[in-house]
Chains A and B, each alone.
Chain A
């Protein structure tokens, strides 16, 4: 790299853009995660059901959104979906749908897998005590299943935060988008994108540490051998 001059000193003065972007990224992530947990529980339960009216739509939803790229979904919701409904969709909303539904589909599978991991004997023991289906689910199956699915859930949520960067392609003003704008404005792609990467890392790494802690905590509880 001949004659390339680093200009790191310029970066801090643009901190407002980075903060603005980070806030949007956080907002987008929070909404997607909340939606994915709620939606994942419902769709996962539907997928677990043996009744076709629940099972089929859930399976179709999961397979559809799991097996198309997130970027394609984001772009589809922004450019194609409005044609279908005959109106506009805010970029932010399109991003929530595009990324969120994909994460929801994965969450649903994690949820279903967690429930399915519970041995049949646990169901039978609950039922033999005179518990209804829902009571066995609530008292016996879920308390154990949820612990088993937490690590996978946490990983998926971290994936979700990273995936929000794709929203920049439809001009959602998240951290990635702010970086692009800045890089184009000041012609310093190296410093800008490096800064963006570092900020993402600093935001996400604590989440990862949190999941490590969570897993350790679950393992201690695991002396209960789940």
Chain B
């Protein structure tokens, strides 16, 4: 019953002369959670941001729900390049939710308005239905009682849960999480991870860039270790996190386990 919802092959990304992604391949099945780990600068966030075209790939193919994105326009680094049309990307992004490290809630809108904004202005959902859906999603993240507050009144953890509800309101097929607990106080990380765990249990397809290795270990189906723009090691959580084969992976993990108690 597994169905590849996302297929990426030979993804390259340059920022100027800087070759950030050097040919990344990935296949994600519907309903699975993939966690990407790696040190900063390894390209994991850039890779994630290419998946909903916050950054345009320099080369390589992205196939989302069986459809190749863009029109093939040439080749670079042995991979095909694609020309992207804004119209296609705008439509695509309604299917791919994203949650950011810095929350990025709209400061001039209440929690409720934040969550309704996408459905109402982009999907043209009626107000009543959008309100209903927003309430459901706020309930899911445990923040219905904050519906009329402005984001600045909320803690970081609460803001991040609103951001998740906002992305969920679009009924996305895939959700991307870009280090969403990295700027939170340690005691607020748990509440956000719990929401993500629930989402995964409901069958949401999730691609997660994270430094929460425990979370990745317990919930991911696949773990990818990125190093210098390539997938250096890939496998089940047990394979990558418990029995890494590559020296780089071992070195990276040592930074986390040296002070384990």
Contact = CB atoms under 8 A, between A and B. Distances in A.
Task: Report whether chain A binds chain B.
Answer: yes
A135 B122 contact: yes
Contacts of B196: none
Contacts of B100: 121, 124-125, 128
A226 B107 contact: yes
B98 A128 contact: yes
A206 B119 CA distance: 44
Interface residues of A, number: 22
A139 B117 contact: yes
A129 B150 contact: no
Interface string A99-138: 0000000000000000000010110110111111101000
B218 interface: no
B118 to A, nearest CB: 4
Contacts of A143: 108
B138 to A, nearest CB: 16
Q: Looking at chain A's contact residues, is the secondary structure mostly helix, strand, loop, or mixed?
A: helix
B107 A130 contact: no
Contacts of A122: 104, 106
A128 B93 CA distance: 6
A140 interface: yes
Interface in A161-212: none
A59 to B, nearest CB: 24
A224 B121 contact: no
A208 B21 CA distance: 55
Interface in B97-153: 97-98, 100, 102-108, 117-118, 121-123, 150-153
B52 interface: yes
Given A124-B54, A128-B98, A129-B93, A140 B106 contact: yes
A41 interface: no
Contacts of B118: 129-131
A119 B167 CA distance: 19
Given A125-B104, A125-B106, A224 B90 contact: no
Nearest to B123: A130
Nearest to A140: B106
Given A140-B106, A144-B108, A226-B108, A128 B122 contact: no
B90 A132 contact: yes
Contacts of A127: 54, 90, 93
Nearest to A142: B108
B61 interface: no
A3 interface: no
19 contacts: A122-B106, A124-B98, A125-B100, A125-B105, A125-B106, A127-B90, A128-B52, A128-B93, A129-B93, A129-B117, A129-B122, A130-B92, A131-B121, A143-B108, A144-B107, A147-B108, A223-B150, A223-B152, A225-B150
